[in-house]
Amino acid sequence: MIDALRNTPLLSRLGEQQLQRVSARAVHRTLDEGQWLFRQGDPARRFYIVVEGQLRLFRLSPEGTEKVIEIVSPG
């Protein structure tokens, strides 16, 4: 877990002790293709780091169609 955190630009400048603290609260999550990580309107209670694979970030239009905002890759 600490290596994944250390290799993330947002956290790369943290010291070892700080990485340990973040790691202690971190949760590793694996998703299947098509599985949702969170939904539009969910409260922002955490942030996510993509370690492997890709994540499609999108919003639903009022008509119900997907508007892709970004394809998120590792890091």
pTM: predicted TM-score of the whole model, two decimal places = 0.74
Residue 10, both tokens: 């947002």
Instruction: Specify the pLDDT at position 75.
Output: 79
Q: How many CB atoms lie within 10 A of CB 20?
A: 13
Domain boundaries, the chain: 2-72
Give 13: exposed, middle or buried? Use CB within 10 Å, 0-12, 13-18, 19+.
Answer: exposed
Residues in the chain predicted with pLDDT less than 70, given as ranges, are none
